[in-house]
Amino acid sequence: MNNYPLLNLFWTMLEFFLWILWFFLLFKVLTDLFRDHSLSGWAKAGWIVLVILLPLLGVLLYVIFRGKSMAERDQEQVKQADAAMKQYIRESAGTTEGGGGQAEELKKLSELKASGALTEEEFQRAKTKLLA
C-alpha cells in the first residue's frame, strides 16, 4: 500500500469514472443515431464509422453538431411515452374523452328510456352494443 499513495488512488478513480461516463455517452450517441429518422442510412453509417474509428473525437463532434436535436428527440420520446401511458390508463379504466365510461353511458341510456325517448327494443340494442 505504501507504493500507491492516496493521490494516485483518487486519480485512478477519476480516470475510471471518466471512462464509464464516456461509455454512457457513446451508447447515448449510438441509440440516438438509430432513433433519428431524419438522417439517411449513409449519414448514420458515417457517424458510426467516425465514432468507432475516432471514439473520443467522434462522440464529441456528434454532441457538438447534433446535441440540440438529440435533446429534442429525447423530449419527443418522453411526450410519446407519456401519451401512451395516459391512453393505456384511459383504456384500462374504461373511460372515454368525455369521461364516465360504460357505467355513465348505461345511466344515460336508462334515463332516455325512462323519459320515453327510447323504446325497450332500442334500449336493449344500445345496451348490447355498449357492452359488446
Of 117 and 58, more confident: 58
The answer to whether 48 and 29 have CB atoms below 8 angstroms apart is no
Give the position of cell 341510456: 109
pLDDT at site 93: 72
94 and 102 Cβ atoms separated by less than 8 Å: yes
Does 53 or 98 have the greater pLDDT score? 53
Q: Which DSSP letter does residue 1 get?
A: -
Q: What percent of the chain has pLDDT over 90?
A: 40
∠ CA 41-45-49 to the nearest 5 degrees? 175
d(CA 110, CA 129): 14
Q: Is residue 73's pLDDT more than 80?
A: yes
| Cβ(27)–Cβ(55) below 8 Å | no
Q: Which long-range CB contacts under 8 A does 94-102 form with residues at least 24 apart?
A: 102/130, 102/131
Which of 37, 38, 33 is CA-nearest to residue 49?
Answer: 33
Q: Mind listing the pLDDT tens digit for each residue in 6-26?
A: 888 899 999 999 999 989 999
* Per-residue model confidence (pLDDT) at position 95: 56
Angle at 125 between CA 121 and CA 128, to 5 degrees: 135
Q: What is the pLDDT of residue 8?
A: 87
Could you report the per-residue pLDDT of 21-33, keeping only the tens digit for each?
A: 989 999 999 999 9
